[in-house]
Amino acid sequence: MKKLLTLLVLLFFTIVLVQAQSYDVKKADSLLNANGEVYFSFHVYDRAELDALTNIISLDNVRGDEVFAYANRKEFGKFSKLGYVVTILTPPGSMLADKDLMKPEGALNSKGPATWNFYPSYQQYLDTMAYYASTYPSLCKIDTIGTSKTGRLLLAAKISRNVNVDEAKPQFLYTSSIHGDEVTGYVEMLHLIEYLLTNYGTDPKATRLVDSVQIFINPLANPDGTYHGGNNTVNGATRTNANNVDLNRNYPDPAAGPHPDGNAWQPETVAFMNFASTFGFNMSANFHGGSEVFNYPWDTWVRRCADVNWWEFVGREFADTIHQYGPTGYFTDEQNGVTDGYDWYRVTGGRQDYMNYWHSCREVTIELTTVKIMPASLLPSYWNYEYRSFLNYIEQSLYGIHGVVTDTATGLPLYAKLTVLNHDADSSIIYSRMPTGFYDRVIDQGTWSLMFSCPGYHTKTINNVTVTRRHGIHLDVQLKAINYGTGELNQGELTIYPVPASKDIHIVLPEAESAKWKLDVLNILGVSMYSGEIVNTGQLVCNLDVSSYPAGMYFIRLSGKSGIYRKQVVIRH
């Protein structure tokens, strides 16, 4: 009797449990075991629900009231308690067989990849990147941005005439597949590297871009996700990295704070943040799949960004050019292929907003294909629909207003801030880039007032700068140092090495006979980092330990009997 009662109680609870589960528990569980993530869809009654859901799961697409999303085990556990009726979907990374994707043999020959109708293995990818650098050493070099969680390489090709020199030109970045199972852009970016290198000197547009822009291309931002199924196939690719974290929800967010997803910054995130700090990208795009749309900032805020008109113009150019060369209906999601990010659905922790807000970089999210992993045989056709738009978007970095900011007296380049008066908002100001002092303010047509400022210098405002679309205005700007007093008579440049510095900086004292100097170090906001006296004991060089200073730009000022000497230094760790 007791046994029967226990059985009945158990049966009762089993029924209750089964009824409470509104999804295929077994299927979800086996996918979470195999991939660390699960892909699913559900319906919302009100789109306002998405604002809360975006902090719990990784929203992937929203079509009407139907939502597509990913979650790892922890996220799915939280979400499944909310009572939505959920359909567990086949992972997009496992829809096709190897034979439809890969080309294991003969894919690379002495001229690099012979065709573009396959997804490379991890080794083929490394070999292809190395091939470009070794075959075009004056136009292409490969930087290692960092390594993934499991030690795979995060690579970026730099393509530019005089590739080994940082010149006074825009710095432009393309990067793809931060979601490991969205790989059309991965192959397209390798193809773009080849296109720029092989057409340099013959095709006028490719030549102009390589001559005038420093182009960086990171084809694969999440190699652990893409090669989740092993180094020889993209079959089994996952959205997340090896820690099952969505890297495009893992960045500091202007509205939601430093860790909007509740996870530590992943190795891939840290590597990319360092990469973005080391260079000063003016424009970039991050390629995804799952939809077909040009998604501009903000993702996190409902309000429009300051440069919304410019984004609409550039986005329309991107989409309309694809419409001209692609099949009917392709790249027409949202507003015929262009959308404000928040209008589509809110994302927090995305890289786009991070780059726009903290790096003054105009970054857009571009979803290339609704199918995340297409049969490889279709890749050449999609390249043909898209590549003109890739080139046009790079070309936009040559338009707007650009030039070099220097010190009136010394002619030395300055790290200056450019504010477009009555226009800039939410961190849309930009900075000139050291060591060249080059700035690049892409902006829509109009007549603008520009204010240039730099600590220790008189601010300069230039009114009535008229910009027209698809034209660049070259505007060099000189700023005059603020006169600090009697010691100013003999101001000049200090000699400091190494540049950039990481541990010690060595300051060459201007005059051996001066007994005393006052040394000041200010950070970029003008806050004193160091102030002290140097007594010259016959040493011509004074050393300063800067290992505890945060990476960035600093101003060194040395005051003595003969005058004040200045220098800006960059500290990197």
Name 413's bridge partners: 406
The footprint of Zn ion on this chain (CB under 5 A) covers a number of residues equal to 3
Q: One-letter amino acid identity for 289?
A: G
SS3 412: coil
The closest alpha carbon to 171, from 450, 430, 351, belongs to: 430
Least separation in angstroms between CB 182 and Zn ion: 5
Residue 363 among the catalytic residues: no
Cα 77-80-81 angle, rounded to 5 deg: 95
CA distance 189 to 1: 71
* Between 169 and 288, CB nearer to Zn ion: 288
Residue with tokens 């825009």: 170
Residue closer to Zn ion (CB basis): 179 or 191: 179
**Tokens 């029967």 identify what position?**
4
Query: By C-beta, is 70 or 281 nearer to Zn ion?
Result: 70
Residue placing its CB nearer to Zn ion in the complex, 179 or 567:
179
Q: How far is the CB of 293 from Zn ion (least distance, A)?
A: 11
Least distance (Å) between residue 37 CB and Zn ion: 13
C-alpha distance across the termini of the chain, in Å? 74
Binding mask 276-295 for Zn ion (x = CB under 5 A): ------------x-------
Under the binding rule (CB under 5 A), the answer on residue 191 touching Zn ion is no
The enclosing H or E element of 355 equals helix 351-359
Q: Burial letters for 479-515: b for 16+ Cβ neighbours within 10 Å, e otherwise?
A: bebeeeeebeeebeebebeeeebeeebebebbeeeee
Residue 347 tokens, joined: 């994302």
In total, the chain counts a number of residues equal to 573
Per the listing, tokens 């894919």 go with: 107
Residues 6+ apart with CB under 8 A from 275: 143, 145, 146, 156
- Minimal distance, residue 286 CB to Zn ion, in Å: 8
Query: Which lies closer to Zn ion via its Cβ, residue 170 or residue 260?
Result: 260
Relative orientation angle of helices 204-212 and 379-395, to the nearest 10 degrees: 50
Q: How far is the CB of 214 from Zn ion (least distance, A)?
A: 26
Q: What does residue 129 show for φ and ψ, rounded to 5 degrees?
A: -60, -45
Considering the complex, state which of residue 344 and residue 517 has its C-beta at the smaller distance from Zn ion.
344
Catalytic residue among 182, 317, 367, 386: 367
Residue nearest to Zn ion (CB): 288
**3-class DSSP assignment, residue 491:** coil
Q: What is the DSSP string of 362-373?
A: EEEEEE--SSSS
Closest distance of CB 343 from Zn ion, Å:
17
Give the shortest CB-365-to-Zn ion separation in angstroms. Answer: 8
Is residue 179 close enough to count as binding Zn ion by CB under 5 A? yes
DSSP bridge pairs for 335: 338
Q: What positions carry a catalytic annotation?
A: 367
| Residues forming the site for Zn ion (CB under 5 A) | 179, 182, 288
